[in-house]
Structure 1
């Protein structure tokens, strides 16, 4: 008798989760929202079933789509998502359908930053204090900052979007006016105590409360610093042999924080702040999914571990088999920033891969994409690339060389040009362009 294949209800598109389902022989039904579908960056394997919805974060939209498709609890073994914004949605679906999945209350602790910090601090762990701003459009009732300096961020955001430093009450009022003027969709924010130190990140796998794997790394600059300075974000992983002290320091806080937040099964991405002079480590934030950027690719290159595949196995109730093989090389990822204006052309991923030491590259935006003046969040980039090196110094030097090479071949039509200015730009971009009358030449 042939054993039936497991069936998984997936909310949202994630290239490595989809690939893991195909390789593991999982019959996945993928819920895809309109925004993700229209973006088109992630290809959906033909082996998987796609159900399109207006909004994949809406429980109502997903349930209606499942009913239209004639699917119910009996058609699935579990519910899973790798999408930050769909965590609570997936938890609610799992509970409603009576299927294994992230508990909704646990999901809330991983989405709401105020709830998260309260849970971590209640467990006696070091974390920033925070105050909820119910409506960032109206801060007139605040006459002074609860912390100076403070960090203002959405209560349930991601990718450092709409996050900024505020040093005075006037800074807060100016930010409030900006968000009101721009009709910002998110209005519930938090003001957090500013924590100093290098920003670390930890990605790992936990099963039945046991920490099976973790990879610790560091951003070149804290995410908020990179955003405010306009410098491209870069990150690399610590070596568990040569830099084992970082793993020893992080492991205890990571385990205790996961326990306080209630995550017993799945993957996670945690950010910590390390104050080198004092040696202290402070909890920053945590998500119940692996990290973004090129963290997945770096972990595969450095450790030989596929975190997305582990997460799918755990969603199906299986203990993943993890056989980490650590490479002695230094692996790091770096963003390829754009320039204000409209993207007209840039090197391809294949062009980048042809460069020495580049091991992975992804161009994420097509021709015609507009880029505003100044980065607004860590996802605002043309693409990313990963470098392998023998030392941190060689890694950062190669980052700079590749970024410069890319920028020299990046063509962006600046905003605000007159028609004459656009003609001049085209003559530079395409020297063969000719706007004259060639009849009498």
Structure 2
């Protein structure tokens, strides 16, 4: 009797998609790039097959590996990814293999922020005006800013990397000069009109064009504001019962935006700007995958819904059965910032979750990691933790307490020490050891 287990080509390591494949009995071939393997934070379960490639976001790299492994003839039931940078690749491979997966044109609308905003604007939804800069290193032809202040970002970036505010042409020129020095891999940027207000985020599941589930939350401060101020990003979810007005306001906008972008099945992460005075929601941007940080964990804790499993079921053509079990408490997650220098030691996740109200923790960087001064993007942190509280005020107070507790136990070798300064640091770090240079006595 032939094996009836579905077979999935999965690009990248997503811990919850991997978990879903194992629990659902899906035979997945997991494509893993060199950078992800070298990071070592996640591993492929033994029940699934690992396919090593140089770059999991390169269609060429993946297709060549499939040929080497004898897998290019097909036999897959779908192609899936939760990796932002592999989204278009997943669509192209699904089309090549003749199986379900995100349509490449839909993937392009979700990846390119200028194309995305044009589609949403054409559907009649408010969103920021934008101007594409083909090469941020060469501003010839770019005159005065058509709107100010503006936000400069890669046209197909993620995690607020290389994102900054610019107030005029002079600041744009200064940023261009900075990038000529640092030589970023991405050079096509978009200049967006700055939208003020509360930054909301929405994660959910859509199947055959029907919005099955959504979880709405808010960032403590907008992502760019947290980046520029150097304060740890934090976020929490709204309660669908006690704060039902949020869901009533967001649901229609979310459905219309997804329809405009063409996502009929899968998971998504959308960001909206809410004007508290007018109640207006302005579309920010949207990804065709779940949100990062601890959003997945918060949704599991708050709503009892496994977004990763829903996404795998959807791409395989199975309608997810979603029965939320909502807990009334406030759930939120935040970052554990490091300090400039080399990480030598820090509390582990078990120590963090032993603290009151801390339901989950993840340490993402090992000993020896170097942290530069100032965050490069919203992903730069030692780790993350999730707190459950009775009120938002209690939540934020607990964030501060746990961060302080963590910082007091964080050991970092600072960058700016002289050799003698490092010797002094060594004496304070290991007070029982004696590294003094002494005379030999016969």
Q: CA contact under 8 A between 1:73 and 1:99: conserved in structure 2? A: no
1:440 CA drift (Å): 8.7
TM-score of the superposed pair, with normalisation by structure 1? 0.98
Number of the residue aligned with 1:270: 270
Number of the residue aligned with 1:69: 69
Matches within 5 A, 1:259-408: 259-408=259-408
- Secondary structure (helix, strand or coil) at the match of 2:377 reads coil
Number of the residue aligned with 2:57: 57
TM-score of the superposed pair, with normalisation by structure 2? 0.98
Q: CA contact under 8 A between 1:88 and 1:107: conserved in structure 2? A: yes
1:337 CA drift (Å): 0.5
Q: Does residue 37 of the first structure (1) align with residue 30 of the second (2)?
A: no
1:154 CA drift (Å): 0.1
- Secondary structure (helix, strand or coil) at the match of 2:74 reads helix
Between the aligned partners of 1:428 and 1:198, the Cα distance in structure 2 is 44
Q: CA contact under 8 A between 1:12 and 1:83: conserved in structure 2? A: yes
* Unmatched 5+ stretches in structure 2: none
Between the aligned partners of 1:303 and 1:262, the Cα distance in structure 2 is 26
Number of the residue aligned with 2:200: 200
Q: Does residue 27 of the first structure (1) align with residue 20 of the second (2)?
A: no
1:432 CA drift (Å): 1.8
- Secondary structure (helix, strand or coil) at the match of 1:387 reads strand
Number of the residue aligned with 1:81: 81
Deviation by residue 1:169-203 (Cα, 9 ceiling, x = unmatched)? 11101110111100111000000000010100000
Number of the residue aligned with 1:177: 177
Number of the residue aligned with 2:47: 47
Deviation by residue 1:109-145 (Cα, 9 ceiling, x = unmatched)? 0000000000000111000010000000011432311
Between the aligned partners of 1:162 and 1:432, the Cα distance in structure 2 is 44
Q: CA contact under 8 A between 1:73 and 1:98: conserved in structure 2? A: no
Q: CA contact under 8 A between 1:202 and 1:269: conserved in structure 2? A: yes
Number of the residue aligned with 1:413: 413
Q: CA contact under 8 A between 1:12 and 1:81: conserved in structure 2? A: yes
1:2 CA drift (Å): 6.6
* Unmatched 5+ stretches in structure 1: none
1:303 CA drift (Å): 0.3
- Secondary structure (helix, strand or coil) at the match of 2:94 reads helix
Deviation by residue 1:54-106 (Cα, 9 ceiling, x = unmatched)? 01111111011001000134321110001000000000000011111000000
Between the aligned partners of 2:320 and 2:194, the Cα distance in structure 1 is 38
Matches within 5 A, 1:199-238: 199-238=199-238
Deviation by residue 1:398-441 (Cα, 9 ceiling, x = unmatched)? 00000000011111111132110101111222222322257899
Number of the residue aligned with 2:250: 250
- Secondary structure (helix, strand or coil) at the match of 1:74 reads coil
